[in-house]
Amino acid sequence: MADDQQHAGPNDVPPVELPITGELDLHAFHPKDLKDLIPTYLSECRKRGILCVRIVHGKGIGNLRRTVHSILSRLPEVATFALAGEQCGSWGATMVHLHPLE
């Protein structure tokens, strides 16, 4: 084991690159990371021409959904957002429509 690996702390995990597919599942993320994660992910989607994004927040008691909706409501690149239909996750996911890049 290299000397620098022996002293790595639990917060020294290198960032993981997310695939930009138009679907963001938030189950693997800490809620405190969402205010940066969601805008960054949506920006990368727009750069790739992905203008319809599904954000999976789960059903639960609704705290994560409310956080996601609050973030989305403040982003100028978001044209519309609404809970997903029955075929796309119902109230456990939100569909986001983005404005195209100019």
State yes or no: pLDDT of 11 exceeds 70: no
In this structure, how many other beta carbons lie within 10 angstroms of the beta carbon of residue 54?
16
Please report whether residue 19 resides in a domain: no
Name the domain count of the chain: 1
Please report whether residue 10 resides in a domain: no
Please report whether residue 5 resides in a domain: no
Question: Which residue in this structure is represented by tokens 């960054």?
Answer: 40
Question: Which residue in this structure is represented by tokens 């690149």?
Answer: 77
Please report whether residue 3 resides in a domain: no
> Could you give the C-alpha distances from 35 to 10, 11, 67, 82, 87, in angstroms and in order?
22, 19, 9, 18, 27
Domain holding 64, by residue range, is 25-50+60-102
Please report whether residue 69 resides in a domain: yes
Please report whether residue 35 resides in a domain: yes
Among 8-12, 66-70, 79-83, the least confident range: 8-12
Predicted pLDDT of residue 87:
72
Q: What is the pTM of this model?
A: 0.81
Predicted pLDDT of residue 14:
65
State yes or no: pLDDT of 89 exceeds 70: no
CATH for 72: 3.30.1370.110
Query: pLDDT tens for residues 24-79?
Result: 999 989 999 999 999 999 999 999 999 999 999 988 888 999 999 999 999 999 99
Please report whether residue 43 resides in a domain: yes
Please report whether residue 67 resides in a domain: yes
